[in-house]
A and B are shown apart, each in its own frame.
Chain A
Amino acid sequence: MAEPAYTVTSDSETNGEEKSSSAFPETAIGIDIGTSQCSIAVWNGSQVELLKNTRNQKIMRSYVTFKDETPSGGVSNQLSHEHEIFSGAAIFNMKRLIGRVDTDPVVHASKSLPFLVQTLDIGVRPFIAALVNNVWRSTTPEEVLAIFLVELRAMAEVRLKRPIRNVVLTLPVSFSRFQLTRIERCCAMAGLHVLRLMPEPTAVALLYAQQQQQTVHENMGSGSEQIALIFNMGAGYCDVAVTATAGGVSQIKSLSGSAIGGEDILQNMMRHLLPNSESLFLKHGISEIKSMALLRVAAQDAIHKLSSQPSVQVDVDLGNGSKICKVVDREEFEEVNQKVFEKCESLIIQCMQDAKVEAEDLSDVILVGGCSYIPKIRNLVMGICKTQDISMGMNPLEAAVCGAALEGAVASGISDPFGNLDLLTIQATPMSIGIQADGKTFVPIIQRNTTIPARKELVFTTVHDNQTEALIVVYEGDEKKLEENNLLGYFKIGIPPAPKGIPEINVCMDIDASNVLRVLAGVIMPGTPHPVTPLMEVRMPTIDDGHGWCAEALHRAYGSTRDLVTVQKKI
């Protein structure tokens, strides 16, 4: 179907250059790549419009099927049956796998998916493969996502009749900077330029700011500040944000997030229906995959039904002689997923504490994402926020992509005569960033929830006499233990010989509005006002795949010979 309008790449690229040099800037499109579903939206000059695929779907399944020579994704592919996704030939849940090492528990949880996820547990990229004609064909999460993005791009180009280059992507709050670089790489592979990567709830916050402003315009009221809590839970991730909004400006006060979502709920449900399911599915034989697909679909159906009815009858023949015939009620469902719900609660509480707001301060509570249909989730959010009324002015599945499209228009410099784009999100860093110092401890330089752009510096000094080098190891996270944070990179800086404690090593971190992190380091010696050696400027992250064991290897190789300690402020 899509063939006629699919122009040759080189053609569309030259068109793109002509266009960007013209007076009209290209409007960046917004893409929400979800763990299970995906959508794409654009500012069409007067409002946000979701783009539909050839089958008239606004929301598409995120997966890529490997068949014969050409893989095909969920954008254009017509599934003969839901089970086809679960046949082992399709790779899905890429978002849960991308940029993660094989020691990550999220990767381990993915081992019971129908396609093959192999781990060596040494901190390298996991091996994933799809079943093609009874052969496990290897691929990578990045490749799969890139294939999917190429399809999305082609579809958008057909719909908009122009080449697409700039995109705004929404991502989970808990994504590490390394994962963000993987996403950027996927986009580059698909010929897309990432204008902004925004945490999903902040995209929702932008949409909220727009809606807020429109109602203010209608009522001619004052643009007083509204504090909103945004809870977004999809198939793979759960994110919370607290935002203060006034006059179209949404200021993110705090963010929290974790890799829990519908997938965990689904796996818990599958385990509940068939207690030994995991060990069975790890075998990845043809018949096991088939029964796994049947169980997965049954569990999914049951969860969906439990959102509207108090109990559900599960009847499924797994084909290998075992049959499941069970009535599951809501209490049971909530019982088996108790841990997931507890985690959600703790994320909300943490986010509110970080923002220093109480339940009474919240003017709105916004619930979005696929999991927002689950009654227990709604109840727990309402409970913590002490409200009975959850804002339903947004489509839970479309809010994030609409926000991304708005950001795309704002960041592309589009203006709207009616003031509908008179918007801004002031972002905050979801995780602290710091370096290793004071023995093996994590010393944050930029604290979490700092407004970006941000720039902070801290002074360190040497721990040994005549220490000629310092090793600066940059981490991101909020864990007490150094090694539980994400390693971003490392570099050495040379120091002239001096007794310990004398050289001053300034480490400065700068995050710009597109969330690019630069780390600068310079050494000054007493008596000289200027750095003695050229400064180091390093764009982070610098690490590559297989970084899981980097920190350990560094420590083995260097011990504490190149350590630093923080300098107490001399006041």
Chain B
Amino acid sequence: MAISVASIYQLSVPKPLQTRTHFYQNKPISRWRQKCTVIRCSNSTAGERARREKNYYELLGVSVDSSSQKIKEAYRKLQKKYHPDIAGHKGHEYTLLLNEAYQVLMKQDLRREYDASIGHLRVGFGENTTSLVGYSTWNGPLRPQALFVDENACIGCRECVHHSSNTFTMDDALGCARVKVQYGDDDQKIQVSVDSCPVNCIHWVDREELAVLEFLIRPKPKEGFGVFGGGWERPANVFMEAQSFTKQMKQEAELHHRNARATVEEETPAQAEARASASMKLQMEGFSRIWNWVKEASGSWKEP
């Protein structure tokens, strides 16, 4: 649904700015995006913003790999505390955020997109949502293994597309096959496709690795120097590249965690509660632009 996607988009936009600027330095930035950033930057410094930017998992006090059941329980527990029926009108903003977070995290596809947008390693990485368009989606529940086509090796024989047309697609511009829907066909057809590949470029990979691989295999604009260089490139060995990329990301994430706060996973229920109470008191960053304006108009806004 367009609406929910829109709001996730807004929430997630500024997140990767500080740590992973180098990944999309050369990318055109959409008008919308620019504007969004301007609005958010204007009344707080980058650090403050990062702290105020609500992470849905933190908001609910659950770990990023929590099951839907866990999320549901956490949501209900928090609702019981902050729902306006119980906490009065001051719980309104907080409950809005809870509802938003719950809605996103309970829907498998929305959660995946969200995970990707917050740069989570499980399935995602730091990138703006633009590059996520066209990534393979999942048919049915997530499974531990995923299909990945090493586009460097692919010779564009269309054999796999022929056997499982719901799973594979042909990128005619680049002349290679790609997975569009994970498990889009039944297992048997997929196996036939994998076996039929003359160059064995269809790989079974761990689900966790998939997003990184799919990201890296995409041709990236090469950094140019004046009129030299430029153009597009992709790593020669995508698997090696993925390993080092993941390692780098982990280090960054660890650093980030160490600097900012204890990791969410290690949080005890008591801590979670304390944090939840504290975050309640924090000025809520509404996820609506209009709402921000209203707040700005009502006094909390200062010219930078």
A residues neighboring B (CB under 8 Å): 196, 225, 246-249, 251, 407, 410-411, 413, 422, 424-426, 445, 447, 451-458, 506, 508, 510, 512-514, 520-522, 524, 526, 529-531, 534-535, 537, 569-571
Residue pairs across A and B with Cβ atoms less than 8 A apart, 27 shown, are: A196-B85, A225-B72, A246-B72, A247-B76, A407-B85, A424-B83, A424-B85, A426-B79, A451-B99, A453-B96, A453-B99, A457-B7, A458-B3, A506-B290, A508-B291, A512-B89, A513-B83, A513-B84, A513-B95, A520-B291, A520-B294, A522-B293, A535-B294, A569-B5, A570-B32, A571-B30, A571-B130
Distance (whole angstroms) from the CB of B199 to the closest CB of chain A: 34
Select A535's contact among B7, B86, B95, B293, beta carbons within 8 Å.
Answer: B293
Interface positions of B from 50 to 79, Cβ below 8 Å from A: 72-73, 76-77, 79
B38 lies within 8 A of chain A by Cβ: yes
B282 lies within 8 A of chain A by Cβ: no
Distance (whole angstroms) from the CB of B117 to the closest CB of chain A: 12
Distance (whole angstroms) from the CB of B251 to the closest CB of chain A: 30
Distance (whole angstroms) from the CB of B79 to the closest CB of chain A: 6
Select B290's contact among A225, A457, A526, beta carbons within 8 Å.
Answer: A457
B274 lies within 8 A of chain A by Cβ: no
Which B residues touch A534, using CB under 8 A? 297
Q: 16 additional contacts, CB 8 Å, given A249-B79, A424-B80, A445-B3?
A: A247-B76, A413-B88, A422-B80, A424-B83, A424-B86, A451-B103, A455-B286, A456-B7, A457-B6, A457-B288, A513-B83, A520-B291, A520-B294, A522-B293, A530-B293, A570-B31
Interface positions of B from 155 to 184, Cβ below 8 Å from A: none
Q: A411–B133 Cα gap in the complex (Å)?
A: 45
Minimum CB distance partner of A245 in chain B: B76
Report if A447-B1 is in contact (Cβ < 8 Å); known contacts: A506-B290, A512-B89, A531-B293.
yes
Q: Are A453 and B92 in contact (CB under 8 A)?
A: yes
Q: Are B289 and A249 in contact (CB under 8 A)?
A: no
B227 lies within 8 A of chain A by Cβ: no
Q: Are A569 and B2 in contact (CB under 8 A)?
A: yes
B35 lies within 8 A of chain A by Cβ: yes
Distance (whole angstroms) from the CB of B104 to the closest CB of chain A: 12
Minimum CB distance partner of A251 in chain B: B76
Interface positions of B from 1 to 59, Cβ below 8 Å from A: 1-3, 5-7, 9, 30-32, 35, 38-39, 42
Q: A266–B7 Cα gap in the complex (Å)?
A: 49
Q: A445–B2 Cα gap in the complex (Å)?
A: 10
Which 10 residue pairs of A and B lie closest in terms of their CB atoms, listed nearest first?
A: A513-B84, A508-B290, A249-B76, A570-B32, A529-B38, A451-B99, A520-B290, A411-B85, A453-B95, A529-B39
Minimum CB distance partner of A425 in chain B: B85
Which A residues touch B286, using CB under 8 A? 455
Minimum CB distance partner of B80 in chain A: A424
Distance (whole angstroms) from the CB of A132 to the closest CB of chain B: 44
Chain B window 287-304, contacts with chain A (Cβ cutoff 8 Å), 1 for yes, 0 for no: 111110110110000000
Which A residues touch B88, using CB under 8 A? 413
Distance (whole angstroms) from the CB of A135 to the closest CB of chain B: 48
Minimum CB distance partner of B85 in chain A: A411
Which B residues touch A225, using CB under 8 A? 72
Q: Are A570 and B6 in contact (CB under 8 A)?
A: no
Q: A571–B83 Cα gap in the complex (Å)?
A: 34
Q: Are B290 and A535 in contact (CB under 8 A)?
A: yes
Distance (whole angstroms) from the CB of B303 to the closest CB of chain A: 11
Select A248's contact among B31, B80, B95, B99, beta carbons within 8 Å.
Answer: B80
Which of A196, A246, A426 has the most chain B CB atoms closer than 10 A to its own CB? A426
Distance (whole angstroms) from the CB of A470 to the closest CB of chain B: 15
Minimum CB distance partner of B129 in chain A: A571
B125 lies within 8 A of chain A by Cβ: no
Distance (whole angstroms) from the CB of A522 to the closest CB of chain B: 5
Minimum CB distance partner of A444 in chain B: B3
Select A455's contact among B2, B77, B89, B96, beta carbons within 8 Å.
Answer: B96
Which A residues touch B85, using CB under 8 A? 196, 407, 410-411, 424-425, 513
Report if A456-B84 is in contact (Cβ < 8 Å); known contacts: A535-B297, A571-B133.
no
